[in-house]
Structure 1
Amino acid sequence: MVISPPQKLTMLFEIIGAGVFSYGLFYLLAMCFVDCDVELWFYSIFGRSPRKLKGKVVCITGASSGIGEHTAKALAKRGVKLALTARRKNELERVKRECIELSKGQLVDDDVLVLAFDITDLSLHKKVLEQIINHFGSLDILVNNAGRSQRALFEHIQMNVDKQMFDLNVFAVVNLSRFAVKYFSERGSGHVAVVSSLAGVFGVPYSATYTATKHAIHGYFGALRTEKTGKNIAVTLLCPGPVYTNFLQESFTEKDGEKYGIPANKTDRRMTGERCGELCAVALANRTHESWMGIFPMMPFVYTAVYFPIVSKMCLKLLGPQRLFKIRDSKEITLDEVAIA
């Protein structure tokens, strides 16, 4: 049987269409069962183990609690040397003790350096990195984790809150990273990571300034990654969804100097801090570009929002922003409560 050119072309399109459909179906099913993007899930099973980072020096900002603390512990278990920074020295010392204990003899006191300082004081950044390099003799990875979230209505947010959030979540991160990148460029290798958020991937409701800071981070570090292509300097954006930490109650609101104050409950549908720290360690070991993390239904929702915007728009109309807020925070809350909490 002779197949004509038009028939061959039709068959080719059918094969391509079947492939695209199969690929989409695989992703749809995978997103319902995994707690991260497919690339990170693959690396967590078949990729480089965080053990490959043993002996490396990693600086983590905001390491006194939350994702920073759990990432430090996940790395300490693999014998990674750590520089831990945050404002609360007592909490940093606690994390240090626990990291050394978790290392089971791989780390000693000098392998975990504690540096307490306010990251929004940009004048200290160069000195802090120099202290780390002088102490360990090198720095291999900078993990920018320090930051705060927000719960507020867009129209009520005071401009001072916008400025403070950008100072903390963006300008402090960019400034510290620039000193690190200069060092990595002179040395010929290095790795910069930033704990962003799924809010940096799509616009989430009732966190306008926070979302804007994370989108800014993606812009800055996406540009950096492009500039350093082929120069052995990796750039990783870590994008967790809701995680069970004290992050929520410490969030900014719309008012200057005010904290949200509503804690996450253990019954909330959130990823554990331990699991998030482990996934961050896997992403660092495999030098991923961008890694998404979140329990169902966050992953399928984010994939739909990014890759199928028309479907996402229809779903958002059906769900409404308040329903999306509940999916995010596992709480029934009215718009008035968001405004005054």
Structure 2
Amino acid sequence: MHRIENKVIWITGASSGIGEALVYALVKKNCKLIISARNEVALQRVRENCEQKEHIQILPLDLGDFKVMDQKVATALSFFNTIDILINNAGVSQRSLIINTKFEVYKKLININYLGTIALTKALLPYFIKMNKGHFVTVTSLMGKFGSPYRSGYCGAKHALHGFFDVLRMEHEKNGIDVTLICPGFVQTNIAKNALTADGSQQQTDDVATQNGLPVAVFTKKMLRAIEQKKFEAYIGQGETKGVYLKRFFPKLLHRVVLRSQVK
């Protein structure tokens, strides 16, 4: 197992939810952190909640602004002179039926969840190649392995991440680069409240499945263990993780199970 202590780690989507929980867990492991999100005020709040503030640097980032990624990577590298791990955690979910969803909503989901993540990853990749080491950790979803109603665009973007990062791993294993895909199930965060609806507005309400999901601190502990083990993929949740195996071996059964679940 490769210990995560004392690493320099860049976390996107660090202003809330899983990203915020990662900050609190990693700073206790004496890691030096670069934390990014669009909301700089929220990032300041997260930093103020930590005792070792000098180990945390704030770098505001909008994944939809593809053109600034090279500049953002240069700035990130200037903080601690290196980066060991990039945790691609930022993203947005969806709660709307296909028939009702505006095409612009699908473009936004792809731009943030897929293309923005790819743009940032590609900008950092030359540095990892030069150093002959590095670890890309990308938070996808169980929805990157199978689908569920009301999440068509989100599922599409998360499936795409799996295709891209599987190939990145194949192409750059020779450069000492590791890739771990983290697939959360239901976790107690604001993902449902922030999810995009058919017209692109936020849902602003929680759902029962999310409320009954894993506590974010429990999820984070399991995620960090998967990173240290350098797993290719980790499915972290409760009973919903069984869907991965049903999809592989009994896809028609999964279809019926998901429809019966009435999860929205």
Match of 1:84 among 35, 42, 48: 35
- Mapping for residues 8-157 of structure 1, pairs under 5 Å: 47-48=1-2, 52-98=3-49, 100-101=50-51, 108-157=52-101
For residues 48-104 of structure 1, the C-alpha deviation after alignment (integer angstroms, 9 at most, x for no partner) is 5xxx22221000001000111112222112111100001111211121122x33xxx
Question: 1:249, 1:263 within 8 Å by CA — same for their partners in 2?
Answer: yes
What's the counterpart of residue 281 of structure 1? Answer: 224
1:314 paired to 2:253: yes
Change (3 A) 1:87 1:267: closer
Q: 1:285, 1:325 → 2: CA distance?
A: 36
Per the normalisation by structure 1, the TM-score is 0.73
Instruction: Note the C-alpha offset of 1:199.
Output: 0.1
Instruction: Note the C-alpha offset of 1:266.
Output: 9.6
Amino acid at match of 1:299: T
For residues 170-190 of structure 1, the C-alpha deviation after alignment (integer angstroms, 9 at most, x for no partner) is 110000000111110011110
Question: 1:59, 1:141 within 8 Å by CA — same for their partners in 2?
Answer: yes
For residues 106-147 of structure 1, the C-alpha deviation after alignment (integer angstroms, 9 at most, x for no partner) is xx4331001123221112211121112111010111111110
Unaligned runs of 5+ residues in structure 2 are none
Change (3 A) 1:188 1:252: same
SS at match of 2:154: helix
1:218 paired to 2:170: no
Q: 1:132, 1:213 → 2: CA distance?
A: 26
Instruction: Note the C-alpha offset of 1:314.
Output: 3.1
Q: 1:58, 1:221 → 2: CA distance?
A: 18
Change (3 A) 1:303 1:89: same
Per the normalisation by structure 2, the TM-score is 0.94
1:324 paired to 2:247: no
Instruction: Note the C-alpha offset of 1:235.
Output: 0.7
Unaligned runs of 5+ residues in structure 1 are 1-46, 102-107, 330-341
Question: 2:35, 2:57 within 8 Å by CA — same for their partners in 1?
Answer: yes
Amino acid at match of 2:261: L
Question: 2:247, 2:254 within 8 Å by CA — same for their partners in 1?
Answer: no
What's the counterpart of residue 262 of structure 1? Answer: 205
Runs of 4+ in structure 1 deviating by more than 4 angstroms, as ranges, are 264-267
Change (3 A) 1:179 1:299: same
Amino acid at match of 1:79: N
Instruction: Note the C-alpha offset of 1:265.
Output: 5.7
Computing the radius of gyration from Cα coordinates, the structure with the larger value is: 1
What is the number of residues matched between the two proteins? 264
Question: 1:246, 1:264 within 8 Å by CA — same for their partners in 2?
Answer: no
Identical-pair percentage: 32
Amino acid at match of 2:179: V
Amino acid at match of 1:230: K
